[in-house]
Amino acid sequence: MKLKIGQISQKSGVPASTIRYYVSEGLLPRPEKINEKMAYYDESCIDRLLAIQELKERKYYPLYLIKNILRRMDEGLNLAEAETIENEVFSRPDKPSNGLLSRAAFLAATGLTESQLASAESLGILIPFTHKGARPLYNQEDVRAGRNGLAKLASLGMNLADLSFWKEYGKKIVDREMALRRKMVAGKTARENVAVTAELTRVSNFYRDYILRRLFQRQVETNIQQSLNKKTVAKKRGRKQ
């Protein structure tokens, strides 16, 4: 059923100006225009507006996150399932977002130069959170990676190209994790698929970090011990001479 914007506004409780804004931001489908002054919206926009208001007013989600959740609902998930996937797989609920940054704002926040950022993105060792058209947008996790990771490594004299192995081996790890997920959700319903994917993501995010951190710690310990052993041998030889 097609409705005028006034009817949609009345049934949803959302002002017409806000509805038009949501359309311009891609949260609602564009209406069917009859002429310059007359347009009709699909009745399904009412449920969509109620979902937007729920996420915006009660859960304080920013619009870019709401847009992602709505897209997953369009793919067949219900609101709870879409929210679960967005939170567990694509967001960092333990680290609140302060909004998305433009490229210029990102450079100012991280201290990276334009050439360093271009190089990092070309190498795949910094991946913008999302895009608006062709324009990249960065979140606070990107800022931490740029400021606390790449900028500091560059200040130590490291060539960013030497870090390309992170993407190479990271891609292999992700491919194996995706193969594991496909195996675990085979034959399950969409709802079961969501639950397994969310739980697997929680475990993988922890365990991936745990394994890499432990491997690094053990290798550093080995290197230190080897260095100490060499010094001990050298001292003993010096005494004999």
**Among 189, 14, 3, 190, which Cα is nearest to 85's?**
190
Same fold yes or no, 2-90 and 92-163? yes
CA 239 to chain centroid, in Å, comes to 59
Rounded to an integer, the average pLDDT of 27-37 is: 87
* More confident: 97 or 225: 225
Structure confidence by residue, pLDDT tens digits, 139-166: 888 999 999 999 999 999 999 999 999 9
Q: If pLDDT is split at 50, 70 and 90, which confidence band does 209 have?
A: very high
β-partners of residue 39 are 33
In this prediction, residue 75 carries a pLDDT of 80
- Does domain 92-163 fall under CATH 3.40.109.10? My reply is no
- Is the distance from CB of 192 to CB of 185 less than 8 angstroms? yes
In this prediction, residue 133 carries a pLDDT of 80
- Is the distance from CB of 42 to CB of 67 less than 8 angstroms? no
Rounded to an integer, the average pLDDT of 39-56 is: 90
Structure tokens given for 16: 């017409």
**Among 59, 60, 79, which Cα is nearest to 69's?**
79
Residue 169 C-beta-side C-alpha neighbours within 13 Å: 6
Residue 179, C-beta contacts closer than 8 angstroms, at least 6 positions apart: none
In this prediction, residue 202 carries a pLDDT of 87
Q: What sections of 75-164 are H helices per DSSP?
A: 79-85, 103-110, 114-123, 140-144, 151-155
Rounded to an integer, the average pLDDT of 202-222 is: 92
Question: In the chain, pLDDT over 70 holds for what percent of residues?
Answer: 95
Q: If pLDDT is split at 50, 70 and 90, which confidence band does 18 have?
A: very high
Q: Domains of the chain: which residue ranges?
A: 2-90, 92-163, 164-241
* More confident: 178 or 1: 178
Cα–Cα dist 188/81, whole Å? 15
Q: If pLDDT is split at 50, 70 and 90, which confidence band does 213 have?
A: very high
Assigned architecture for domain 2-90: Orthogonal Bundle (1.10)
Query: Exposed e or buried b for every residue in 79-94, given b needs 16+ CB within 10 A?
Result: bebbbbbbbbeebeee
Rounded to an integer, the average pLDDT of 208-231 is: 90
Structure confidence by residue, pLDDT tens digits, 70-123: 888 888 888 888 888 877 776 654 444 457 889 999 999 999 999 999 999 999
Which pTM value belongs to this model?
Answer: 0.62
- Is the distance from CB of 52 to CB of 27 less than 8 angstroms? yes
